[in-house]
Structure 1
């Protein structure tokens, strides 16, 4: 048997993995040394050509060669100047735990494929439900992330609300013909996956009503109540309200308690997308920002954002397990009724997926290792860094802060001498930093009307820092802001 044919499991699996792991670790270090920064100093075309050359010239040792190439060509979230996205540097203990899952390869679609993992996921979900404020009637599942979780929340909302109104099982009969038009309400700053979910569920993207936001990009609760009232007055059916706890651009948190009241009044399911902001529940300082989250019918959390887990580590929770009914499925080769009656549990009916990785394990290991208090310290450290960086922007003569950070992200821009060039210069300076391999800074656009002028611009483009590395220093942030300003000056003075 060749090295490449060895298996990772069984009594001999660990021995087969050991030399391969050394190869991977050495290659990771080599690639990081070659990159020497947050991202390779290459254009997309140059990087593609370089990777093609590596693949064509190598004579073997593919594990080491390609791992080194991957490490060299990666944006490294562990570098303090890689601060664009909700792309966290995973904890080493979580990665090590994830290796164990990869080696054993349990699948959570049946107990006999994942005995221990089934127990661990069930226990972890109960713990996370308590963190949210749910009681013992809660249920949930590990997901691929916020997009899948948001889809599940809207699917259960559709089935329950429309099923209750029509007397039909929507998962069997489909959307009722005629009758009131279903509507979903989400803020203008809600994640795009809300509209995508509405499309996938047959409601249509146009069913999503965009509720106005304030300058901090929080949903206007008064506008939500008015939108629900007007919709009901037109004879439409409010199906769901999607409140956001941590928008991707600014970490803004909708007023959850104020959103819950009108949702309940009009019989709409309340789903809270806390994929980012759910990490605040780990911090005594920030947890009060999520006041009212326990009133939600469902919640999404992503531990591969403000939880330092390797992707994927999404969590979907419902307040009442019985609302999961429309997703229940019986597959005789996976969860026969007599097995369940004999005490062999199945998680198949909680997920949209069949084959499903044991992603709960790495979260469980991390929670046992650091505890809520230890993880809370990491959250607070990143929050402190965001506040420091925002103060640095506010004090810089060529940078403008949009709003104070709520969690660990904020928007700002380079202030151009000619306002008409603001959008072009800010977009270009970000690409300059990428091309030079200096820094990875995010870019977004403010909703119309929030950029100081109505319409499409100029002045809507904003840069974004998302600080998820608790080991970043204040001097790192000073260096990052100097690099942004220098890139802006170079772009502004160029042709």
Structure 2
């Protein structure tokens, strides 16, 4: 069957190169206009799921639109108009960052060239760039001369692969030990630890939750008790997962003390620094990560703290030989003879086969700005969180949970005059305030549960956000919560 001529013109090749450049430029101008518009309109339109779903009614994907302009017009209505804009200074919800312009350039390049980073004969220079960045990151961590790693889709995949390697090292391939294997992590660790344990055949009950202190950091004494209890029960500790930047609180577990315990008990230490990895380039706060250099494996998410587009993450290991647990050879792709010839096929150390050249974004960011400049951006949001903590502690309308180590603030609307009232009512008021704020489109904040009570959360990753922005959003939250209490009083 002959390919229609129109379809041929839409493939990227020498004859369509100019059309490609024009089309990308045109699309970028559309996005740029939306970025400017969102600055005054707010980070979100507040549209409901049902209302947005209705916009898709009648769209027939079997019938193409007449031209790219029409397709972009439709995309404005279906996506760009109601997108959540992380670059807006009052987007304060999740661990989403505004992105660097060199990184966006990298996205454009990597999408067009479309390298797959699984084998050398598909990527060449891409393979070397990724390896160079892995080596650079390992040196920043301090893992030593035998370190290695691989880019991943995100922290969840990195944590999964780290625990896969720890499991294999612990059981030596004897899967009959699976029911006895245990992973120890703090009660504030990321949920992906439990997900990984389940995927690895250990089951969710294999994760031992270690209590945290008042600062939401793992307690070393509690970890030691848990390790000793595992041994007494005939269980095998596979790994201890320490967190350098918990999702809710930004807290950093005491890494040196945890590393001491892991060495004493001969247990794999994995540090989940998906959030806190920005400290690796901080000109002022690198010491907060002291102890990370003693880890067996480390998760870093450049798409959180290095201001990179999703996805851009990596897993680093102290001993490159453990990456063999992800190695499978296929005659058509990466036969063993290639290893003997020292051909660097990245698929030999990755859970993925086809894989985007996400390292390019970070490469261009570092080559354009430099590590110190990126670190200064991260320092800016950490400083902002400290200012936000001062703001909250001085405001009788709010209770704040912990002083932040990174850039997260967890707090609760609970005015002094209402704190003696039923806590369930304050829970409902905080939930309402978050929903009403998002529906208004004026700002977005996250929510979480602390000690059984609903709280709100500022996740600060935008260096353009100011203390005045935080104060304004707190006023909006208070107004929505107070309105809820007024309505509840009238209904009573």
**TM score, norm. by length of structure 1:** 0.91
Q: Distance in 2 between matches of 1:260 and 1:303?
A: 24
Partner residue, 2:197: 198
Partner residue, 2:46: 41
Task: After superposition, give the CA deviation of every residue in 1:118-154 in whole Å (9 maximum; x if it has no partner).
Answer: 1111111000000111122101000000000000111
Matched, 1:469 2:462: yes
Partner residue, 1:135: 144
Partner residue, 2:386: 387
Partner residue, 2:30: 27
Q: Distance in 1 between matches of 2:177 and 2:220?
A: 32
Q: Distance in 1 between matches of 2:8 and 2:55?
A: 26
Partner residue, 1:186: 185
Greater CA drift, 428-437 or 383-392: 383-392
The answer on whether the counterparts of 2:197 and 2:206 sit within 8 Å (CA) in structure 1 is yes
Task: After superposition, give the CA deviation of every residue in 1:433-461 in whole Å (9 maximum; x if it has no partner).
Answer: 01111111010011x3xxxxxxx4xxx11
Alpha-carbon offset, residue 264 of structure 1: 2.1
SS at match of 2:303: coil
Q: Distance in 2 between matches of 1:387 and 1:66?
A: 43
Q: Distance in 1 between matches of 2:398 and 2:301?
A: 31
Partner residue, 1:493: 486
Q: Distance in 2 between matches of 1:343 and 1:120?
A: 17
The answer on whether the counterparts of 1:124 and 1:364 sit within 8 Å (CA) in structure 2 is yes
Alpha-carbon offset, residue 187 of structure 1: 0.3
Matched, 1:63 2:101: no
Partner residue, 2:110: 101
The answer on whether the counterparts of 2:324 and 2:349 sit within 8 Å (CA) in structure 1 is no
Q: Distance in 2 between matches of 1:221 and 1:324?
A: 29
The answer on whether the counterparts of 2:171 and 2:177 sit within 8 Å (CA) in structure 1 is no
Partner residue, 1:478: 471
The answer on whether the counterparts of 1:239 and 1:267 sit within 8 Å (CA) in structure 2 is no
Task: After superposition, give the CA deviation of every residue in 1:9-45 in whole Å (9 maximum; x if it has no partner).
Answer: x444541222212331233245456652111132222
Aligned pair in 2 of structure 1 residues 473, 54: CA closer, same or farther (>3 Å)?
farther
Q: Distance in 1 between matches of 2:401 and 2:473?
A: 18
Matched, 1:372 2:375: no
The answer on whether the counterparts of 1:108 and 1:355 sit within 8 Å (CA) in structure 2 is yes
Task: After superposition, give the CA deviation of every residue in 1:305-326 in whole Å (9 maximum; x if it has no partner).
Answer: 1111110111101001112222
**Contiguous gaps of at least 5 residues in structure 2:** none
Task: After superposition, give the CA deviation of every residue in 1:251-281 in whole Å (9 maximum; x if it has no partner).
Answer: 0000011111222222211100000011111
Matched, 1:277 2:266: no
SS at match of 1:392: helix
Task: After superposition, give the CA deviation of every residue in 1:273-311 in whole Å (9 maximum; x if it has no partner).
Answer: 000011111113221111100111000000111111110
Q: Distance in 1 between matches of 2:224 and 2:82?
A: 48
Q: Distance in 2 between matches of 1:229 and 1:247?
A: 25
Q: Distance in 2 between matches of 1:46 and 1:55?
A: 19
After TM superposition, list the pairs within 5 Å mapping 1:124-163 onto structure 2. Answer: 124-163=133-172
Q: Distance in 2 between matches of 1:62 and 1:270?
A: 53
Q: Distance in 1 between matches of 2:36 and 2:97?
A: 20
Partner residue, 1:214: 213
Q: Distance in 1 between matches of 2:308 and 2:107?
A: 9
Quick one: which of 416, 421, 426 aligns to 1:422?
426
Greater CA drift, 473-482 or 140-149: 473-482
Q: Distance in 1 between matches of 2:57 and 2:483?
A: 32
Alpha-carbon offset, residue 333 of structure 1: 1.1
SS at match of 1:190: coil
Alpha-carbon offset, residue 214 of structure 1: 1.0
The answer on whether the counterparts of 2:283 and 2:376 sit within 8 Å (CA) in structure 1 is no
After TM superposition, list the pairs within 5 Å mapping 1:315-354 onto structure 2. Answer: 315-354=314-353
Partner residue, 1:86: 95
SS at match of 2:399: strand
Partner residue, 1:452: none
Q: Distance in 1 between matches of 2:16 and 2:154?
A: 30
Aligned pair in 2 of structure 1 residues 59, 361: CA closer, same or farther (>3 Å)?
closer
Partner residue, 1:287: 286
Q: Distance in 2 between matches of 1:147 and 1:228?
A: 24
Instruction: Please report the RMSD computed on the Cα atoms of aligned residues, expressed in angstroms.
Output: 2.1
After TM superposition, list the pairs within 5 Å mapping 1:184-263 onto structure 2. Answer: 184-263=183-262
The answer on whether the counterparts of 1:32 and 1:71 sit within 8 Å (CA) in structure 2 is no
Alpha-carbon offset, residue 158 of structure 1: 0.4
Alpha-carbon offset, residue 109 of structure 1: 1.3
Quick one: which of 115, 119, 132 aligns to 1:110?
119
The answer on whether the counterparts of 1:249 and 1:411 sit within 8 Å (CA) in structure 2 is yes
Alpha-carbon offset, residue 49 of structure 1: 2.3
Q: Distance in 2 between matches of 1:482 and 1:117?
A: 48
Alpha-carbon offset, residue 51 of structure 1: 5.0
Partner residue, 1:7: 11
Alpha-carbon offset, residue 478 of structure 1: 2.3
Alpha-carbon offset, residue 336 of structure 1: 2.5
**TM score, norm. by length of structure 2:** 0.91
The answer on whether the counterparts of 1:34 and 1:72 sit within 8 Å (CA) in structure 2 is no
Alpha-carbon offset, residue 5 of structure 1: 4.1
Aligned pair in 2 of structure 1 residues 66, 394: CA closer, same or farther (>3 Å)?
farther
